[in-house]
Amino acid sequence: MFLLVTGFLHLGGLRTALYNYIFAKKHGGTFILRLEDTDQTRLVPGAAENIEDMLEWAGIPPDESPRRGGPAGPYLQSQRLELYAQAADTLVRTGAAYPCFCSPQRLGLLKKEALRNRQPPRYDNRCRNLSQRQVAQKLAGGPKPAIRFRLDEEAPAFQDLVYGWNRHEVASVEGDPVVLKGDGFPTYHLACVVDDHHMGVSHVLRGSEWLVSTAKHLLLYQALGWPPPRFAHLPLLVNADGSKLSKRRGDLFLQRFAAAGFLPDALLDLLTNCGSGFAENQMGRTLAELIAQFDLSRITCHSALLDLEKLPEFNRLHLRRLVSSEAQRGQLVGKLQALVEEAFGSQLTDRAVLDPGYVERVILLRQGHICRLQDLVSAAHSYLWTRPAVGRAQLGAISEKVDEIATRVLGLLEGPATSLTQDTLNAELKKLSEGLDGTRHSHVMQVLRMALSGQPQGPPVAEMMVCLGPNEVRERIRKVLCS
């Protein structure tokens, strides 16, 4: 597949890469990535590196690419100019293409006039009938010309693997297209044909916006005497309301999702669920399952509706799957330790909260209630890492029996219930509340929640106590009593 280096990798590019990757892996093929950098005026610094970084982050690295190399390299189109020049020379020599000397000013006027007349802009093929003498004179006295491909022949019908049989008579609606610019760089039309041929590409999966252009590409293959690959055009990825997905929206770049703590498998799962290519849609599929279940014949022509509001729930599912794996859980512990250090830093008066056993216990207890690991360092979960600043007066406003509640809870923690479980604690706290005349169980819970977290709402009190551990619970209760 090809990707432009005129911007960082976004969700649309990831989806195209994903379908190419799973198709290649499903059939034992090679996933080739080449980067289109032929429009030197639009290059974005760092875009090439970002594309490969993000594909590796997503778990779908190419087998061959600018970074990884390979037998069909180079994989940057700006490094393949000689191949394009050779192909263009062949086309000119056989009469399938010709030099065009029209200035940018003239082409701009043609476009302006067409738009004024409410017609689609098209080149008027002015240079296609220049005599050899005229061409020689212009070559001697002017800048290097562009090369245009003659759209003379009837475009062949082809069977797209998604859209079925297609034929587009491009010559009736377009002028002869430029295939090689005056600066020696190709346009996409020539570059993709030359590269697919020399790289031995058997299947091209790309966006449906290239479906009409395929007619031109097939004519180029025909003119060069090369067999074309099979084409499968993927329906557009659009917003949930059906509107076009903008490549310029910064929140669609992959690095934003990575930085926000979303898991690669969750993104891949969401992208395949909103599209097609599988017997049924189901949440929670891993990349290996996507490869096993993928069926190109099941891709439909309908646009894929992307609903990013569903991503947190997809992420929750995949996070729980990682937590259930002991090896993966160890990696999550390391990541959460780093997040805690970053979020709280000097506020960590007790660095025992970074102990792997404690961090793992937090993850296990909270796994069903969070969507991202980052949620565990939000303000709502700050009590897990720092002791809250709670005054005795705050607890007194909830219940007059703060001392008695605290004394009984401290006594409970000194007894057999030191092997804390949520079920045991819930039962003991219920009995404790029943023994306090005139005090409702809900008030006891509010007092304990405020003492332990400094917050009026949050996880169940028993869970908080199990998570913090008996020693820390005692310390927090005593601290409030002494305030």
Q: Where in the sequence numbering do the catalytic residues fall?
A: 247
Residue with tokens 């050899």: 132
Q: CA-to-CA distance for 177 and 216, rounded, in angstroms? A: 9
Amino acid identity of residue 73, one-letter, is G
Q: CA-to-CA distance for 334 and 354, rounded, in angstroms? A: 9
Q: How far is CA 281 from the centre of its chain?
A: 19
Question: Residue 196, class by beta-carbon neighbours within 10 Å (0-12 exposed, 13-18 middle, 19+ buried)?
Answer: buried
| Nearest residue to 385 via CA among 315, 330, 467 | 467
For the record, the structure tokens of 64 come out as 């061959």
CB contact set of 379 (below 8 Å; sequence gap of 6+):
none
Q: CA-to-CA distance for 387 and 171, rounded, in angstroms? A: 74
| Nearest residue to 144 via CA among 173, 184, 114 | 184
Q: Do the strands 146-149 and 178-180 form a parallel or antiparallel pair, or are they unpaired?
A: antiparallel
Please list the residues that pair with 36 across neighbouring strands.
4
Q: CA-to-CA distance for 146 and 190, rounded, in angstroms? A: 13
Q: Give the SS3 label for residue 187.
A: coil
Residue with tokens 């509010």: 446
Under 8 Å between Cβ of 5 and 43: yes
Q: Do the strands 304-306 and 237-239 form a parallel or antiparallel pair, or are they unpaired?
A: parallel
The DSSP code sequence of 111-131 is: HHHHHHTT-------GGGG--
> What angle (nearest 5°) sits at the alpha carbon of residue 47, between those of residues 42 and 147?
40
What Cα–Cα distance (Å) separates residue 309 from each residue in 242, 287, 379?
A: 15, 21, 22
Helices (H), 294-344: 311-323, 326-344
